């Protein structure tokens, strides 16, 4: 889908950049941000949070569906090949281990948020909020669902959902405040 409503297209539109080079650089930049965000822990209650899902939100809202999906898929490939891009390293074990559902959920969520971005949802606070809530639901549905198949669903909710609700609300509100404002500023 060729669409110039995404934030990244609005930012880069004045520059004559080869589309392939632009996309390669954006994918690389996105995977670097994802890797860095998985390593940084921010003190929060009840558990420390990483900013990884926040970066997933930003990539989906800024890149659009195709580029967001590609970026997250390349991120998983980097991890599968052993690059230390995940919170505690890399390797194929992460793509089948207890947190694998969250990783696949992030790929799906970035793509879905990107679809909303392609439709112009990143220009409105309420529409951005809607797309991020759906994206978050997808991440936790796949994450908790897969974790629950390993440790049981009651334990998965206690370990993999409840402690993260407040930090996810914070990240959703932060992304919802940032992207529509940046989009409005860029499109002036």
The confidence score (pLDDT) of residue 2 equals 44
* Dihedral, 87, 100, 31, 66 alpha carbons, nearest 10: -160
Q: Please identify, in words, the CATH class of the domain defined by 7-186.
A: mainly alpha
Contact at 8 Å (CB) between 22 and 11? no
Own/partner pairs, 135-138, CB within 8 angstroms, 24+ separation = 135/56, 135/57, 135/60, 135/109, 135/110, 136/53, 136/109, 136/168, 136/172, 138/105, 138/108, 138/109, 138/112
CA max distance for the chain: 53
- Nearest 5°: phi and psi at 86? -90, 170
Q: Provide the residue-wise pLDDT of the chain in tens; the chain has 188 residues.
A: 344 567 776 667 667 778 888 899 999 999 999 999 999 888 876 677 899 999 999 999 999 999 999 999 999 999 999 999 998 899 999 999 999 999 999 999 999 999 999 999 988 999 999 999 999 999 999 999 999 999 999 999 999 999 999 999 999 999 999 988 887 777 66
Own/partner pairs, 150-155, CB within 8 angstroms, 24+ separation = 150/98, 151/98
| DSSP 8-state assignment for residue 83 | -
- For the chain, what are the domain ranges? 7-186
Contact at 8 Å (CB) between 147 and 104? no
The confidence score (pLDDT) of residue 187 equals 66
């Amino acid at each position: 889908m060729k669409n110039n409503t995404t934030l990244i297209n609005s930012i880069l539109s004045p520059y004559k950049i080869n589309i392939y080079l632009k996309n390669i650089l954006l994918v690389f930049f996105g995977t670097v941000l994802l890797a860095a965000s998985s390593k940084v822990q921010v003190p929060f209650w009840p558990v420390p949070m990483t900013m990884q899902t926040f970066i997933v939100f930003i990539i989906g809202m800024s890149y659009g569906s195709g580029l967001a999906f590609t970026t997250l898929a390349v991120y998983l490939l980097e991890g599968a090949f052993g690059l230390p891009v995940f919170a505690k390293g890399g390797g194929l074990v992460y793509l089948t281990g207890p947190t694998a559902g969250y990783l696949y959920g992030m790929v799906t969520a970035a793509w879905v948020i990107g679809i909303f971005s392609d439709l112009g949802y990143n220009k409105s606070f309420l529409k951005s909020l809607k797309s991020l809530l759906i994206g978050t639901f997808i991440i936790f549905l796949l994450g908790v669902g897969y974790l629950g198949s390993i440790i049981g669903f009651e334990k998965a909710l206690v370990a993999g959902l409840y402690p993260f609700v407040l930090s996810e609300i914070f990240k959703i509100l932060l992304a919802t405040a940032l992207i529509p404002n940046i989009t409005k500023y860029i499109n002036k």
